[in-house]
Amino acid sequence: MNIISLVIPSRNNLKYVKFAYNSIRKYLPLDVEIILLDDASTDGTWKWMNEIKILDDNVKIYRNDGPERVGHTVLYDVGAELASHEIFGIFHADMFATTNYIKNMLKHLKPKTVVSGTRIEPPLHPPGPEKYVKDFGLEPEEFREIDFINFVKQCETDNANKTTNGIFAPWLMYKEDFFAIQGHDKKLFAPMELEDSDLFNRFLLAGYTFIQSRDAFVYHMTCRGSRFKDGIKIVNEIPIGNDSIWKKAQDSDEYTKLREIKFREWWRKWHSDVLHNENMFPIVKHKYNIGFSVTNCNDKLLEALEPWCTTLYVDCPYDSYIEKNQPHTKFNLNNKIVPYHREKTNDIVIEFDGAKLNQTGFQIITRLLPDILTDSAEVGEMEFDIFKFSIKSLNTYEKKLIRLDDPYYTNQLL
C-alpha cells in the first residue's frame, strides 16, 4: 500500500481534521502518507500538526502563515507537490475513512483515470444517486462510529466491485496526470468555490476516464471548511420524498459572498452553467468566440450580459461598471467591454436591442446558446427571436481551457 498520499487542507477546523486523521490511522494501513496543510488557522491547528509530525513518520505538514487564507484551491496543489508517492488522493478534513476505502479505489486506477469514492452523508444536502444520505452524526463528538462501520460493511457487500462514471471528492489519481493539466485554476477560483467543477471539466476535456467505486466509502460531514464553517445551524427541514428530510443549514457569510463572485468567474470562463448528469459526470458545452452587440444598453444589462460572452459591444457608458467589477474578476474587463461602433472581430456576433430583451431572450443567449449554435447554426446570417447572428466561423474553444497556460485563456486575464 506504500504508494499513496492523502492530501488534507484545513482552516480553523481542528476537531474535524483530527477526526479525519484519526480515522485514516485507525482504518487504513499505517504506511499511507498523510499531507496536512494549515491555512493560517488560529484555533491551534498548526500546533497539533507539529505534535502529530513528531509522532507519525508518515506525515508531512505545511502552513500558510497568513494572515490571509490562500484557500484549499491552492493547498490541494501544494499537498500534491509535497506527496512522496506517484498516487495521491484528495481527502476532506471533515471525512472519515473506512478499512477498504483505498483498496477498493486502487483496483480501478489506471493512467489518465480519476477514481472517486462514495460518500455517506447526513441530510444536509438533497439526495443523489452518487451517495448515501444517512445520519450518523453532524459533529465528530456525536458520531456513531460502530453503527456507521456496520452500515458500511453491508454496503460493501451489496455493492461489491460496482462502479458508475461520476466524479466527486474524495478522489485519487496519478500525480503525473494531475500536473499534466497544471492542477487547479488557482488564479480564478481561490480561495474556494467551483474549483473542483472547473478541474473536472478539464479532466474530461483532456480525455481522462472517471470511475466512482461504489464499495469505497467515507463518511462526509460536508462543507465544514466553507459553506458551514461557522457551525451547523438548521434553518429549515424540507421533505424530499421517501420519508426523508433535508435539513437545510445556514450558509456562512464568506461562502455566500464568494459563491456569487466565483459563479460569475465560471460563466466568464466557460460561457455555460456548472453541468453534470445524475451521477455527477461533468457535461461540458462547446465554447464559441461570441460578441454581443447591444443597442439601448444600460447598467443592469451590463451586469447581466458581461459574463456570458467574449466581447460586449455597447452604446452606453461602462467605465463605472468596470471600476466596480474589475476588483472581483481576473478577466480584463477593459478588453472585454468596448464601444458599440468598434470593429467586431468575433467568430460570431449577435446583435439585439437591449430594450427588447426579456427573460426568455436572456435564457436563450445565456443557457441555450451553445446548443443552438451546435445543433442549428451555419456560417452566414441567421435570425432567432430578437437576435441577428453574423457567423464567420463555428470554431470551438473549450479545449483551450484545459491547460492554465494556454495563450487563448491567459490573454483574456489581467
Label residues 141-165 b or e (16+ Cβ within 10 Å = b).
Answer: eebeeeebbebbeebbeebeeebbe
User: Do 86 and 172 contact (CB within 8 A), yes or no?
Assistant: no
Residue 254 pLDDT: 85
User: Do 223 and 126 contact (CB within 8 A), yes or no?
Assistant: no
Residue 348 pLDDT: 98
Number of H helices, E strands in the chain: 15, 18
Q: What is the tens place of the pLDDT at every residue in 58-95?
A: 999 999 999 999 999 999 999 999 999 999 999 999 99
Residue 240 pLDDT: 77
User: Do 413 and 305 contact (CB within 8 A), yes or no?
Assistant: no
Below-50 pLDDT ranges, the chain:
none
Residue 311 pLDDT: 98
Write the CA distances from 394 to 12, 344, 362, 391, 408, integer angstroms.
48, 16, 21, 7, 16
Residue 244 pLDDT: 77
Instruction: Give the Cβ contact number of residue 65 at 10 Å.
Output: 8
Where does residue 182 fall: left (phi above 0), alpha (psi -120 to 50 degrees), or beta otherwise? Answer: left
User: Do 122 and 138 contact (CB within 8 A), yes or no?
Assistant: yes
Residue 2 pLDDT: 64
Report how far residue 199's alpha carbon sits from residue 132's, in angstroms, rounded to the nearest whole number.
24
Residue 1 pLDDT: 54
Q: What is the tens place of the pLDDT at every residue in 166-178?
A: 999 999 999 999 9
Q: Which three cell numbers stand for residue 82?
A: 509535497
Q: What is the tens place of the pLDDT at every residue in 5-33?
A: 999 999 999 999 999 999 999 999 999 99
Residue 241 pLDDT: 72
Domains of the chain listed by start with CATH number:
4-270 (3.90.550.10), 290-395 (no CATH)
